[in-house]
Amino acid sequence: MRSRLSNTFGSLRVRNYRLFATGQLVKLTGVWMQFTAQDWLVLQLSHQRATALGTVTALQFLPVLLLTLYGGKLADRFDKRKLLIAVNALFAVVAGVLGILVATGAVELWHVFVVAAVSGVINAIEGPVRQSFVSELVNRELLPNALALSAATFNSARIIGPAVAGVAIGWIGMGPVFLANAVMCVGPLISSIRMRPAELYRREPGQVASRDARIVDGLRYTRQRPDLVIPLLLVMIVGLFGFNFPVTLAVTATTVFHAGPQSFGLLSTALAVGALGGALAGSGRRARPSIYIVLVAALMFGSLETLVGFAPTYLSAVVLLIPTGFFMIYFAQAANQRIQLGTDPEYRGRVVALYMLVFLGTTPFGAMIIGWAAEQYGPRSGMWIGGLASLAAGLVMSVVHLRRADAEIGLHLHPRPHVHVREPAPDGRVLDFRLPAIRPAAR
């Protein structure tokens, strides 16, 4: 048990990473509290219009589409810790403004739209800086574990935040929830200041991007790497259609199951419980994950989200959301690890920015499409459309990779049913992959 825990939480032995994770947990708990309260507030202010909910989600993520690549360029050129201090200070100010508007009863729908857009601009810069900063907090051996624990931190907050917000809204109203988020956003600011720069794993001078490093150079680098392109394309499609739970869960809760804020929070919590399990499941990984892990996780996620869209009762939806959340994060985490661990250090900030662009930058379009579909074809359609699109993307990318790798697939029924994939490696070896265990062995 001690050995297992040591593998799972190994990165927390590093002081700088421990400070980073603590600050993120505090902030993200407040952010998820605000997201839950904000969705509820928008539905109230817009008289239950799904398009308004899709609009605020789009405004939060549209800046990611426009500015994330620039954020990656900044991450490659400047001190990431100092950048994080600056953007987190701005984020705390914006959260405070919205908290005051809600607490005083002066908030209007357009206020929420404006704050969502400004927060999106800050997140577009903060995201690639924060993601690539993890590689400076721990050594390369611990990097897969650190990335997994970062996902676990995110999903721990995703469990705590909606649950607390759902109870708090019913007891004391939405104003205190928004104000609490403003206070909690100070957490990563304090953590970044307390870090010891001398203990960071800075890159060698020859591996640091030059001052004239360009965004287009990162794009060219990625285009020449098929092992990066396939997971990026898959993440783009799944992010566009499948990762729109802020819209689909809110609409399903209010219009299908006629749930109150506490029940709505439980749906989000069920998704996050599974997501936390998915994050921890990959925390023991010490090497770059196989592409087959990414593909199978995407297929499982698409299948389960489709089932959630047809869940007949509130309880069945809660139960199905747990494995859906598991494979949602297991897929996203495996794709993130495959991309970061396969990228040269001098390009990591820009490649991570591209990952975040296709992962989150597609959300504005996806949120609008899913919100429109929910109004045109029924509130359940947003969920099952996203699931089917994710499933189709996983199948197409699987075929593309298998054809490119000239792989052979075999179905074995004895001694245990499994799928066996064999593909030639560039060095002349043959790589064997057994699914669903997906443990590669070279011979």
Question: Which residues does 285 contact at the CB level (< 8 Å), separation at least 6?
Answer: 144, 145, 148, 337
Q: Which amino acid is at 237?
A: I
Among the residue ranges 162-171, 307-316, 408-417, the one predicted with the least confidence is: 408-417
Rounded CA-CA distance 227/407 in Å is: 15
Tell me what pLDDT residue 5 has: 52
Rounded CA-CA distance 43/261 in Å is: 11
Nearest-CA neighbor of 24 among 200, 196, 184, 243? 184
CA distances from 130 to 7, 17, 72, 147, 285 (A): 23, 12, 10, 11, 21
Higher per-residue pLDDT: 407 or 227? 227
The H-or-E segment that residue 20 falls in is helix 15-45
Count Cβ neighbours within 10 Å for each residue of 138-168 and write b for 16 or more, e otherwise.
Answer: beeebbbbbbbbbbbbbbbbbbbbbbbbbeb
Instruction: Please tell me whether residue 311 adopts helix, strand or coil conformation.
Output: coil
**pLDDT greater than 50 at residue 385:** yes
Nearest-CA neighbor of 36 among 257, 264, 226, 320? 264
Tell me what pLDDT residue 440 has: 44
**pLDDT greater than 90 at residue 149:** no
Tell me what pLDDT residue 419 has: 64
For residues 69-90, average pLDDT: 86
To the nearest whole percent, how much of the chain has pLDDT over 90? 11
Higher per-residue pLDDT: 343 or 422? 343
Instruction: Please tell me whether residue 77 adopts helix, strand or coil conformation.
Output: helix
> What top-level class would CATH report for the domain 2-201+214-405?
mainly alpha
Rounded CA-CA distance 74/349 in Å is: 8
Q: Which amino acid is at 321?
A: L
Instruction: Please tell me whether residue 408 adopts helix, strand or coil conformation.
Output: strand
- Tokens representing 421? 């994939």
Domain-wise residue ranges, the chain: 2-201+214-405, 409-443
Rounded CA-CA distance 307/317 in Å is: 9
- Tokens representing 88? 């987190």
Rounded CA-CA distance 33/312 in Å is: 28
Query: How many CB atoms are closer than 10 A to CB 290?
Result: 18
For residues 27-47, average pLDDT: 83
Rounded CA-CA distance 68/116 in Å is: 16
Rounded CA-CA distance 160/268 in Å is: 10
- Tokens representing 74? 């900044």
Residues 122-148 have pLDDT tens digits of 888 888 888 888 888 888 788 888 887
* CA atoms within 13 A of residue 252's CA, in its CB half-sphere: 30
- Tokens representing 406? 């000239």
Higher per-residue pLDDT: 7 or 173? 173
Rounded CA-CA distance 125/87 in Å is: 8
- Average pLDDT score, the chain: 80
Tell me what pLDDT residue 412 has: 64
CA Rg value for the chain: 21
Residues 60-79 have pLDDT tens digits of 877 877 888 888 888 878 88
Q: Are the beta carbons of 80 and 136 closer than 8 angstroms?
A: yes
Q: Are the beta carbons of 143 and 17 closer than 8 angstroms?
A: no
Q: Which amino acid is at 293?
A: I
Q: Is 227 left (phi over 0), alpha (psi -120 to 50) or beta?
A: alpha
- Please give the DSSP secondary-structure letter assigned to residue 208: S
